[in-house]
Amino acid sequence: MNKEIKSNRNKQDDDKYIPRGKPKSGRTWKTTKKRFSSIVKTKGIRDSFEKKQTLRKELERVKNASKAIVALKEEEKEKKKQRRRDNLKRQEENSRKAEIVQIIKNPNKIKRMKKKQLRNIQKRDIDNL
């Protein structure tokens, strides 16, 4: 019985088989290409619904953990920036307090000064002093 079925299949395959002649290019080792529509596609292995749910929960947990780590790093960065700003501000205030101030009341003095001395002159608001 099995031999008969096999022989029938071979006969059907033989009927479909059309012998190819010698290719014009001479490349006999090349095979004919199949169309994409003729390719049989299989459905992949499907996971069960419970497995999908557990994977989703696991993925969500991992995402939340990574977000928390990123947020923590960002917060640390912001704290460092704020600390640096505060330190610079404090340093500026201290340098202002330590300055030796000499008020020039006579504007003609400025006109008589040399270039190097003029570079050192800075205008300040004297109300704060």
Taking each continuous run of H as one helix and of E as one strand, the counts in the chain are 4, 0
Residue 127 within a domain: no
Q: How many domains does the chain have?
A: 1
Residue 24 within a domain: no
Residue 100 within a domain: yes
Residue 101 within a domain: yes
User: With contact defined as beta carbons under 8 Å apart, do 77 and 71 qualify?
Assistant: no
CA 54 to chain centre: 27
**Mind listing the pLDDT tens digit of every residue in the chain (129 residues)?**
555 555 555 555 656 777 778 888 888 888 878 788 888 888 888 889 999 999 999 999 999 999 999 999 999 999 999 999 999 999 999 998 888 888 888 889 988 999 999 898 888 877 765
Residue 86, domain extent: 47-117
User: With contact defined as beta carbons under 8 Å apart, do 104 and 110 qualify?
Assistant: yes
CA 25 to chain centre: 49
| Per-residue model confidence (pLDDT) at position 31 | 81
Residue 83 within a domain: yes
pTM value? 0.46
